[in-house]
A = this chain, B = another copy of it.
Amino acid sequence: MTTGVQVRRRMGVEERRQQLIGVALELFSRRSPDEVSIDEIASAAGISRPLVYHYFPGKLSLYEAALKRAADDLATRFVEPQEGPLGARLLRVMRRYFDFVDEHGPGFSALMRGGPAVGSSATNALVDGVRQAAYLQILVHLDINRPPARLELVIRSWISLAESTALIWLDGRRIPRAQLEAQLVHDFAALTAVSAAYDDEMATLLRRMLKDEPAEGPFTDLVGRLIALAS
Contact = CB atoms under 8 A, between A and B. Distances in A.
Contacts of A187: 190-191, 194
Stoichiometry, as copies per complex, reads 2
Interface string A184-226: 0011001101111110000100100000000000000011011
A163 interface: yes
Contacts of A179: 198
A149 interface: yes
A168 interface: yes
23 contacts: A113-B124, A114-B114, A114-B124, A115-B121, A149-B174, A153-B165, A153-B168, A153-B180, A156-B168, A157-B161, A159-B164, A160-B163, A161-B164, A182-B198, A183-B194, A186-B194, A190-B191, A190-B194, A194-B226, A197-B222, A197-B226, A198-B225, A203-B229
Interface of A: 113-116, 118-121, 124, 149-150, 152-153, 156-161, 163-165, 168-169, 172, 174-175, 179-180, 182-183, 186-187, 190-191, 193-198, 203, 206, 222-223, 225-227, 229-230
